Amino acid sequence: MNTVQKWDLFELSAAGAQDGNPFTERTIFATFTGTCEQVTVNGFYDGNGIYRVRFMPSFEGEYTYVLDGTYGGGRQEGRFTVIPAGPGNHGPVHVAGEYHFAYADGTAYYPIGTTCYVWDLQSDARIAETLESLAASAFNKLRFCVFPKHYDYNLGEPRSYPYEGTPMDSSVLTKDNFMSYSFQKDGNAFDYTRFNPDHFRHIESCILALQRLGIEADLIMMHPYDRWGFATMTAEQDDLYWQYAIARFAAFRNVWWSLANEYDLFPTKTLSDWERYAGIICREDPYHHLRSIHNCRPFYDHTRPWITHCSIQRQDIYKSSELVNEWREKYHKPIVLDEIAYEGNIQHGWGNITAEEMTRRFWEAACRGGYPGHGETYMHPDGVLWWSHGGQLHGESWKRFRLLRDILSETPGLGLAPYEQCRWDEVCAVPECEFMHPVKSFYLYYYSFMRPSFRDFHFDDTTSFQVRVIDTWEMTVEDRGVYTGHFRTTLPGKPYMAVWITRQD
């Protein structure tokens, strides 16, 4: 009898018809029934006469299935057993509480993300190098694209394309605006009704490689940086793409849906289009993976019920993490700063902040109850930038995120909240679950670019607190002992310091 772990992928495959266009003219679906759930999911055509249906079970025990459709192979029935999740399998990530995240098994999840837009469309050697870099880092979320990307420092052809066809010569390109390109409609080289299964299989291999490293795959499903026509498909072609991608990817437990990178730069999409795509996800994804949409300039309306968390790009050349408090109060959802500018030295203002500033923005965001994201855009002799291609990390900020992640993992409850009592002249975080308690078990003060030589503290006259001083840049944690009542903590008068105070029970 077949077995599969809880929250792992169970797959059915069946031979079927190849005539006509199996992507549009045939269907396959299956209903999976266990003691605690019954789920019907659509399958997909995987080429060469093979159809597949994928399922992620949420409970242990015996399941049965019924497979059917017009795919040409007839009705099939069977059964399988779901066994307990193995080590490292915590299930998919969902919103927990109001502002934070947890895996399905209840384990708290603190996103420390990075962006490598098209690392998945590079050579095998470059992909292996990227995975090696990720394994040495503290990153547990990666944003990347399904479609290839055309933009500065990323002008080559990808390893594969999502549709059957070949790219046209660049002489047929027309520039729609300074950020978006599309093919002339009379020179279209791709059939947007026939997918290239090899392209999607390869992306699935990348999703699984990330899963083995404990990294969430934040899939950017659409973007405007395009010279192949993928950003200007018709509504029918877009919907077909969404249905196919969801059927292929939804059963992977580490998938997140990002509807778009910079939704507001698409030349032909309207808000009704984005709402329609969201409706397809909500209808077709039975596991309710996390859903977001990313801006360039104006935010999407993050109060929309289908949006599970805010995926934010900073709108100001300087301010980013400092606004987390306001965004939490406005949207009452987790605040994920997927783009707070990138550490690097390219010409664009979004890609040349220092490692010190990137590290500062991470700590500032975390202590305000948000979740910051990293990117790296250093010029390279071979034109390989982490932000787009992956490869090796050349910066300094990424080395300093593990300390922050380790401290977050010691937070009582699910995450941190900004302590409003300290808002006037310092940033302080306390456990979200203890926000109303008069004396917290955990205080994390961050002094950013300020340089105090000491700070005085008083919580009450009886409780004892352990005090540790953190140099967030040098990555040192110094134990200063245990204090009660009024006490003073001396500091070195340099930026990027933090004081971590924990109650001794």
Answer yes or no: is pLDDT of 170 > 60.
no
> In degrees to the nearest 10, what's the CA dihedral of 19, 20, 21, 26?
-70
Query: Tens of pLDDT along 128-138?
Result: 999 999 999 99
Nearest Cα to Cα of residue 341 among 368, 372, 366, 371: 372
Q: CA 128, CA 131: separation in Å to the nearest integer?
A: 5
pLDDT confidence tier of residue 460, bands split at 50, 70 and 90 = very high
Position 425 scores a pLDDT of: 87
Q: 197-212 and 124-135 are packed helices; what angle lies between their axes, rounded to 10 degrees? A: 20
Q: How many CB atoms lie within 10 A of CB 297?
A: 9
What average pLDDT does this structure show over 184-201?
Answer: 82
Q: What pLDDT band is residue 169 in, cutting at 50, 70 and 90?
A: low
Q: What's the fold here for domain 416-503?
A: Immunoglobulin-like (2.60.40)
What pLDDT score does 435 carry? 80
| pLDDT at residue number 445 | 97
Q: pLDDT grade, residue 175 (50/70/90)?
A: very low
* Helix or strand (DSSP H, E) at 218: strand 216-220
Q: What is the mean pLDDT of residues 318-338?
A: 97
As assigned by CATH, the class of the 109-153+196-408 domain is alpha beta
So where are the chain's domains? Answer: 2-83, 109-153+196-408, 416-503
Question: What percentage of the chain exceeds 70 in pLDDT?
Answer: 95
* Mean pLDDT of all residues in 449-462: 96
505: pLDDT strictly greater than 90: no
- Please indicate whether the domains covering 2-83 and 416-503 agree at the CATH topology level: yes
Predicted local confidence at residue 189, as pLDDT? 86
Q: How far apart are CA 79 and CA 361, in angstroms?
A: 51
- Is pLDDT at 428 greater than 60 in this prediction? yes
pLDDT at 1: 58
Mean pLDDT of 318-336: 96
Of the candidates 281, 368, 389, which has an alpha carbon nearest to the alpha carbon of residue 325?
A: 368
Rg of the chain over CA atoms, in angstroms? Answer: 24
pLDDT at position 185 over 70: no
**Cα gap 127→80, rounded to integer Å:** 34
User: Which residue, 432, 494, 492, 483, is CA-closest to 460?
Assistant: 483
Neighbours of 269 (CB within 10 A): 21
Q: Which CATH architecture has domain 2-83?
A: Sandwich (2.60)
Within 13 A of 25's CA, how many CA atoms are on the CB side?
9
Whole-angstrom Cα distance, residue 359 to residue 138? 13
pLDDT grade for 27, boundaries at 50, 70 and 90: very high
- Residue 214, classified by CB atoms within 10 Å of its CB into exposed (0-12), middle (13-18) or buried (19+), is middle
Contact 396, 161 (CB under 8 A): no
pLDDT band per the 50, 70, 90 thresholds, residue 187: very low
Which letter, b or e, does each residue of 464-474 get, where b requires 16 or more Cβ atoms within 10 Å of its Cβ? ebebbbbbbbe
- For tokens 């992928």, the residue is 9
pLDDT in tens, 114-156: 999 999 999 999 999 999 999 999 999 999 999 999 999 999 8
Q: What is the distance between the alpha carbons of residues 325 and 419, in angstroms, rounded to a whole number?
A: 10
Give the β-pairing of 216-220 and 255-258: parallel
Query: Rounded mean pLDDT of the chain?
Result: 94
Q: Enumerate residues 6+ apart whose C-beta is below 8 A from 348.
A: 152, 377
Q: Report H helices in 264-354.
A: 271-284, 324-331
Residues 55-75 pLDDT 10s:
999 999 999 999 999 999 999
Tell whether the model's pLDDT for residue 415 goes beyond 70. yes
Residue-wise over 454-463: b if at least 16 C-beta within 10 A, else e?
Answer: eeebebeeee
Split at pLDDT 50, 70, 90, the class of 421 is confident
Measure the CA–CA gap between 77 and 60, rounded to whole angstroms.
Answer: 20
Report pLDDT for 177.
38
Confidence bin at 205 (pLDDT 50/70/90): very high
Q: What is the pLDDT of residue 437?
A: 86
Please check the confidence at residue 168 and state whether its pLDDT lies above 80.
Answer: no
CB 321 within 8 A of CB 340: yes
- In whole angstroms, give the CA distance from residue 315 to residue 239: 30
CA pair distance 405, 195, nearest whole angstrom: 39
Q: What is the rounded CA–CA span in Å between residue 218 and residue 258?
A: 6
pLDDT reported for residue 145:
98
Name the residue with higher pLDDT: 97 or 170: 97
